[in-house]
Amino acid sequence: MKYYLINLLVLLVCSITAFGQSKGHTDFNKDWKFYKGEVKDGQSPTLDDNKWRTVQIPHDWAIEGPFSVEYNARCGGLPFHGEGWYRKSFTLTNTQKGKNIGIEFEGVMKNSEVWINGHYLGKRPFGYLGFEYDLTPYIKQEGENIVAVKAKPEDLSSRWYPGAGIYRKVWLNVHEDIRIAHWGTFVKANDVSSKVANIDIKLEIQNYTETDKVVSIAQSIINEEGETVKVLNQKAIAEGSTISINEQSFNLIRPQLWTLENPHLYQLVTELKDVDGNILDHYITKFGVRDIKFTPNDGFFLNGKRTEMKGVCLHHDLGPLGTAVNKRATVRQLEIMKEMGVNAIRTSHNPPSREQLEACDVMGILVLDEAFDEWGIQKIENGYHTVYEEWHESDLRDMIRRDRNHPSIIMWSIGNEIREQKVKDGWKVAQHLGQICHEEDPSRPNTAGFNQYENSIKNKLAHHVDIVGFNYKAAKYKEIKENYPEWIVYGSETESITSSRGVYHAPFLEKYEKNTDHQVTGYDIIGPIWSYPPDMEFKFLEENPSILGEFMWTGFDYLGEPTPYGGRDNSTNGYWNDDWPNKSSFFGPVDLCGFKKDRFYLYQSQWTNAPMVHLLPHWNWKGFEGQEIPVFAYTNAEEVELFLNGKSLGKKVKGVDKGIVPVKFMYYEGPTDFPSPYRLRWDVPYEKGELKAVAYSNGQVVGEEIIKTTSKAKTIELTADRKVISSEDGEDLVFVTARALDAEGNFCATFNGQIQFSVNGDGTFEATGNGDPSSLVLPNSKKLKFFNGMALVIARANQGDGGTITISASGKGLKKAVIAVETKADVKNFN
């Protein structure tokens, strides 16, 4: 395989929304009319939609429920398929009249069709990519205009919960006769160093008139301190009725590099002017300067520094919010991942939201941007294979053109576990898609995630990607590198262990397939046949340092695919309802609400340096008196001492005193009782009281954790993720965690009583959740049960000058709790 030693600079065209694009790029998300169901002539301007619901975009109609087996537990048991209509009326302002008007959708799930004033504009089957339509030929300069959108997601079209409707943002784009084309900038460089970066800018200029026009291009580079560090001026010809390409190069002296620790972003401000000096378009592009290098022997380098990929796969839903994109919810997910030690994400298994990429740019997180879960061969009845032939090229090109300037993105993935692996000529498809990637962006490598180890090699698909991703093949890393030393390899999906937060079953370390309570033990040993505990990936990566790193499946639980309940990955082609009410995954070290499971701390113990120690399980085992309970400590310290009711049970040294965990998975031939150097284990005869772990490094105490046997729950503790949030745009959210405590203030880790929330003041109720994969309480309910002592409420700030949101929680036998969160218009909602 031809491999790449890639040195590049990527500059960010950070979305045309949050960071600005042209002066006529305006919010078009409020006051849409919505109707769920079939509508005759729903596109007609004369249709009476007064009785339709008014909704704000982004909107996911399916998260409103109800949960039902008829909607397929594999896809979250929610009504995502069927037909839904959206309509919005608007009139042009005086400044918009006579201009070129376009409408831009960042994503509609799926099979969308769009009309303006009854005129058909087009369709887009794929739900994960944005698109723009020209409204100009049909727009009314005076009076009311009607935009109509039909979405028609199909049953058996997704292997997880896809959401439904206009779930990403919408924009009205107002342009002069000459503009910078949609996704019309691309900036890259070679020979990047801390001294100089040689930068190439490609600018696409669209001329709507039939006449060639002379334009001037004025560009400025501005750093984060607001200083202008480079100015460029030139003239160009904008050819009539087409898109003209303008290219230029320059040296950026002493660039501030985009790093994981300091992800510096510049702005490229571009102005197009006519011969009289009138501004035709004003376009702001944020970008970052960095050098990446992939090697077959030494791994991945960012700005010359070897960087192991400590990655997770993430689906696109936001738990209780469904798939309706929200910036704060997206950032919160990534904040939790960074706390675990994550430095990379894989957008499984489709193009991500703009908000996620912007957040990764700002927060310093690497991205593997993925296009498809299917090519031309079917996984599920109505999957992407039904439109692959007609749409794959435009979809892949659009993904790259949309995303190519984000500095966080380091690879393009052309597919995940595609069925062409088992076809003799499957390599031809991989080669074709890879060529598209090279044409659109020669600065980054392409990749794919292969789960069929033998077939992907035998049928040469692995030979026709730049970087080879293998799913769940850690035990084969050594063999792969011995046979193909020139390949650049990484774990594109790893681990796949399942667990429920706070659940521990007896017998404690038994590897079972299912349990009668529809949960999975939190000891992190249970998974499908291809899966293995995190310990095994840690082991094989240490033994094979040329591997780039891993992307663990998955960072968060997600709606759908409730393995091991109801089905097994794509081995069935239909419904996963045998174990209803299970309707969401168990794979994450973090649950649907963002609450941390024990596995979070196992990863944190390997991926972070700030001293930490974590104990499991809980210590409420009435009826188990005198029986041995396996107690594990996860730490990045040198050693841990365990105490039970003040009595030392001895110190254990990490890496020396190994905790035995049961292991059995495909391709693994080692001991089934694996002595893990990553876990410390004590078998402790149960007696109620206090269990305490004390961590030491260099003989000094660096951390401790205490868990206690608790009495009856008496109070509720409320904690907000932020004390002050933004009221600027009415989009910011606050996430408030409720924990059940006993009379002494100890966390009641097994309490499952009811709780009810209320939201008052300068905010509105948004959603609730508890992280229970088998709960059928809808997120729009203010009343639910604690799940192992925890529950979540989400509130949205009202748009305006600001004020106070008051959130309260109550439950039978529990003292009411109240928390206040301040809202301010001058607080940005990105942090």
Q: Which residues belong to the active site?
A: 417, 493
HSE of 32, CA atoms in CB hemisphere, 13 A: 27
The C-alpha atoms of residue 739 and residue 750 are separated, in whole angstroms, by: 11
What 3-state DSSP class applies to 695? strand
Single-letter amino acid code for the residue at 214: V
The C-alpha atoms of residue 384 and residue 30 are separated, in whole angstroms, by: 31
CA 335 to chain centre: 11
Six-digit token pair at 1? 């395989």
Single-letter amino acid code for the residue at 247: E
Six-digit token pair at 525? 């040993």
4 contacts 466 by C-beta, under 8 angstroms: yes
Number of other CB atoms surrounding residue 289 within 10 Å: 26
Burial class (CB in 10 A: 0-12, 13-18, 19+), 473: buried
Burial class (CB in 10 A: 0-12, 13-18, 19+), 432: middle
Six-digit token pair at 348? 């499984």
The C-alpha atoms of residue 595 and residue 319 are separated, in whole angstroms, by: 11
Six-digit token pair at 465? 């990607």
399 contacts 129 by C-beta, under 8 angstroms: yes
The C-alpha atoms of residue 481 and residue 490 are separated, in whole angstroms, by: 11
**Distant-in-sequence, close-in-space partners of 423: CB < 8 Å, separation ≥ 6:** 377, 459
Coarse DSSP helix, strand, coil percentages of the chain, rounded to the nearest 5 percent? 15, 40, 45
Cα–Cα distances (Å) from 4 to 186, 192, 446, 468, 610, in that order, read 21, 16, 10, 12, 35
DSSP string, 184-238: EEEEEEES--SSEEEEEEEEEEEE-SSS-EEEEEEEEEE-TTS-EEEEEEEEEEE
* Residue 396 φ then ψ, to 5°: -65, -45
360 contacts 366 by C-beta, under 8 angstroms: yes
Cα–Cα distances (Å) from 336 to 320, 517, 617, 795, in that order, read 16, 28, 22, 19
DSSP string, 631-665: EEEEESSSEEEEEETTEEEEEEETTTSPEEEE---
| Torsional class of 570: left (φ above 0), alpha (ψ -120 to 50), beta (otherwise) | alpha
**Distant-in-sequence, close-in-space partners of 14: CB < 8 Å, separation ≥ 6:** 265, 285, 286, 287, 357, 358, 361, 405, 406
Exposure b/e, 494-527, CB count within 10 A at least 16 = b: bbbbbbbbbbbbeebbeeeeebeebbbbbbbbbb
* Residue 430 φ then ψ, to 5°: -60, -40
Six-digit token pair at 208? 């709507």
Task: List the alpha helices (DSSP H) in 735-778.
Answer: none
Name the residue with tokens 């401790």: 704
Of the candidates 582, 630, 807, 811, the residue with the CA atom closest to the CA atom of residue 716 = 811
Six-digit token pair at 580? 């209803």
- Using CA atoms of 44, 45, 50, 55 in order, give the dihedral in degrees to the nearest 10: 80
